[in-house]
Amino acid sequence: MQIVLKNGDKLSVEQNATAMDAAHAVSEGLARAAVAAKVNGKLVDLSHVLSEGDALEIVTLKDKEGLEVYRHTCAHVLAQALKTIYPTCKLAIGPVIDNGYYYDVDFKTPITMEDFAKVEAEMKKIIKSNLPIERFTLPREEAIALMSKYHETYKVELIQDLPKGEEISFYRQGAFIDLCRGPHLPSTGKIKAFRLVSIAGAYWRGDEKRKMLTRIYGTAFAKKEEMDEYFEMLEEAKKRDHIKLGKEMKLFALLPEGKGFPFFLPNGMVLKNILIDYWRQIHRREGYVEVQTPIILNRSLWETSGHWDHYKENMYTTKIDGEDCAIKPMNCPGGLLVYKLHPHSYKDLPIRMGELGIVHRHEKSGQLHGLMRVRCFTQDDAHIFMLPEQITEEIKGVVRIIDEVYTLFGFKYHVELSTRPENSIGSDEDWEAATNALRAALDELKLPYVVNEGDGAFYGPKIDFHLEDSIKRTWQCGTIQLDFQLPQRFEIDYVGEDGQKHRPIMIHRVVFGSIERFIGILIEHFAGKFPVWLAPEQVKVLPVTDRAAEYATQLVKEMTALGLRASADLRKEKIGRKILDAELEKVPYKLIVGDKEVEDGTVSVRRRGEGDVGAMEKQAFFDLVRKEDREKTIF
């Protein structure tokens, strides 16, 4: 029989050949590198039996899916090791996550990270044994009986909750059997480098009313060198932790009186307002108008938008005058109401409407993390109402803004096209048209992208921008969502050239995403060492003598008048102490002034990261800092 390879070539294989047989037929090198396969777009084991005309792609560790299969198999090796050492423990779930995996386990006697050494030793034995990993399926009742036999009550519950008719698959490695959709590596010996990382508590199924399980985190890499690089990155990330630096630099506070609701301090507000001012500057240039919509709107609005049915568990609700209301989790419904206030002609479109809206979303307490995961944040939203023929140009315009912003901050990025999720609204035709329009814009821009199946918004597909920071971590920030649904649900229209009413198309888009989260990313990206234009304090003047203190105060007044952010350290401290404190505060420039500088009208300049750069005329220094501020220089 014949199958079709990724490049379109046809390959002849024997009847009942597996994906691994096909890999061998292509080359022995490919077979050695293979960890899984895609057959007709579905990720499967290498033992999967092929059929006539199947489209086959061999997956290796160079592919994202390949590394996920590798790590998921390592999670099963962890589970087998735990069952060997702690026979009475009960297994829950063990999914792959970014950079690793975890397994939730119910132990009779709690374990700690001190137990990791013996667990890792047992995992190494399992890997060295190179146990074949075999998939098999069972009917529902037999599957329940099998897991009941091993007292795996959590697995039994998972099986009972599966839809009737769904295939129930298991994987066997040696004497160990686990419930799993797969796929997996062909044998345990394929794992070359792994490590257990940390331990935490996790409620079963994320339900605070259910039992607290032990979550063991681990990671695995194709090579030891890659794993070593990863842990070096983690150590660097600890130094850059935005929660730690935010506290030291007095940017924001996280208080128990408002869990998930950060307090911005004066320095943090300076930084936040700089970002907002920059946002307004580029959006005015690009023809956006700015609006502000209410934070609380009534239930009927959220029913119209679909949020009441599709997003209610993430919303905060209340009653006002006996009427159900919700605090907005998104700005878009308010923007649609603004559009509806006045009639529009095709000549008015596109209308680019921006909003720096404060939104609230209910996040579980265990998911909160600094500024990265909060319950209240400022979304730099914009909604573009346009004609169908304007879609491509408008998407290109948004991409241009996002590229300009990320490049300014020194970020690289990659793009994902996210398609229709299960929990969605609208017709197949609308979804296909919207998805094809996004594809066309990306193709026209010649912008490389990967498809993220099923991760679109419930009302439309989207383009997501994942930026890479200075230590190569990725963050999803910018997004462009194409929406055919909300214009229909809100019955918005415009009068076309034919004099008839038509529905506009709508784009939802953000650049920063959440300004709070973007600040957290910036803190870690720059390790708190903000470039001059972003630094809450740009210059610190450090007088050496009492006479110089007056000169320092005058310098601050002159810089403030020029729009610079400066202060003087007038404490009765030694100059070494003042320099050290200014360094800890990560101020870009320190000016050391003594009697000589007073007499000469100069300043002795210390630049962050470089130390003493010598004496300068004060006006020359002012011009230097103003130039860096104006040009938004990053050093």
Question: Are both 45 and 109 inside the same structural domain?
Answer: no
Does 577 qualify as catalytic in the annotation?
no
**Average of per-residue pLDDT values in the chain:** 94
CA distances to 107, 353, 386, 397 from 284, in Å: 58, 11, 18, 13
The domain that holds 149 is classified in CATH as 3.30.980.10
Residue 436 belongs to what domain range?
Answer: 247-525
Classify residue 286: in a domain, yes or no. Answer: yes
Which of the following is catalytic: 190, 272, 462, 517?
462
pLDDT band at 471 (very low <50, low <70, confident <90, very high): confident
Cα–chain-centroid distance for residue 262?
Answer: 19
Place of tokens 């004066």: 266
Q: What angle do CA 63, 65, 66 make, to 5 degrees?
A: 65
242 is a domain residue: no
User: Which pLDDT does position 635 carry in this prediction?
Assistant: 66
Name the catalytic one among 173, 379, 390, 485: 379
- Does pLDDT of 621 surpass 80? yes
pLDDT of residue 455: 85
Give residue 80's Cα distance to chain centre: 32
Q: Which of 128-137, 271-280, 438-447 has the lowest mean pLDDT?
A: 438-447
- Catalytic residue, from 90, 272, 328, 361: name it: 361
Q: Residues 74, 89, 180, 332: which is the catalytic one? A: 332
Structural domain count, the chain: 4
Q: Assess whether 150 and 226 both reside in one domain.
A: yes
Same domain? For 484 and 601 the reply is no
Residue from 54, 104, 381, 569 carrying the catalytic annotation: 381
385: nearest Cα among 484, 512, 497, 285 = 484
Active-site annotation holds for 76? no
Instruction: Give tens-digit pLDDT for 332-375.
Output: 999 999 999 999 999 999 999 999 999 999 998 888 899 999 99
Residue-level pLDDT at 70: 98
**Last residue of some domain: 476, 493, 525?**
525
Mean pLDDT of 526-552: 95
Query: Is 411 in the same domain as 508?
Result: yes
378 by DSSP, 3-state: which? strand
Q: Is the pLDDT assigned to residue 330 strictly greater than 80?
A: yes
pLDDT computed for residue 453 by the predictor:
87
pLDDT tier, 314 (very low <50, low <70, confident <90, very high otherwise):
very high
358 in any annotated domain:
yes
Query: In terms of domains, do 466 and 355 share one?
Result: yes
Whether 344 is a known active-site residue: answer: no
**Is it the case that residue 100 has pLDDT exceeding 70?**
yes
Residue 366 has a CB neighbour count (10 Å cut-off) of 13
Q: What pLDDT, on the 0 to 100 scale, is given for residue 429?
A: 86
Does residue 533 lie within any of the structural domains? no
Residue 238 lies in a domain: no
Which one is predicted more confidently, 469 or 157? Answer: 157
Judgement on whether residues 497 and 567 belong to the same structural domain of the protein: no
Q: Check if 525 is active-site.
A: no
The pLDDT tens digits of the residues spanning 570-604 come to 999 999 999 999 998 999 999 999 999 999 999 99
Q: Are 210 and 136 contained in the same domain?
A: yes
Mean pLDDT over 305-334 rounds to: 93
Question: Has residue 202 been placed in a domain?
Answer: yes
Catalytic residue among 76, 242, 328, 508: 508
Q: Looking at the predicted structure, is the pLDDT value of residue 285 above 80?
A: yes
Same domain (yes/no): 54, 115: no
- Would you call 484 helix, strand, or coil by DSSP? coil
- Looking at residue 32, which CATH number applies to its domain? 3.10.20.30
pLDDT bucket at 426, cuts 50 / 70 / 90: confident
Whether residue 74 sits in one domain with residue 53: no
Rounded mean pLDDT, 431-435: 87
Task: Say which CATH number the domain at 354 has.
Answer: 3.30.930.10
In a domain, 614, yes or no: yes
Distance CA 621, CA 635 (A): 17
Are residues 590 and 468 part of one domain? Answer: no
Residue 305 has phi, psi (to 5 degrees) of: -75, -20
Residue 239 lies in a domain: no
Q: Is 362 a catalytic residue?
A: no
CA distances from 385 to 186, 398, 564 (A): 51, 13, 39
Domain end point (choices 35, 60, 85): 60
Are residues 560 and 502 part of one domain? no
Place of tokens 């729009």: 563
Measured distance CA(87)–CA(153) in Å, rounded: 14
Residue 477 falls in the annotated catalytic set? no
Pair of tokens at residue 629: 């501020």
Final residue before a domain boundary, out of 232, 264, 280: 232
Structure tokens at 499: 């004099």
Non-local (6+) Cβ contacts of 199 within 8 A are 111, 112, 113, 214, 215, 216, 217
Give the helix/strand (H/E) hosting 460. none
**Are residues 495 and 451 both part of a single domain?**
yes
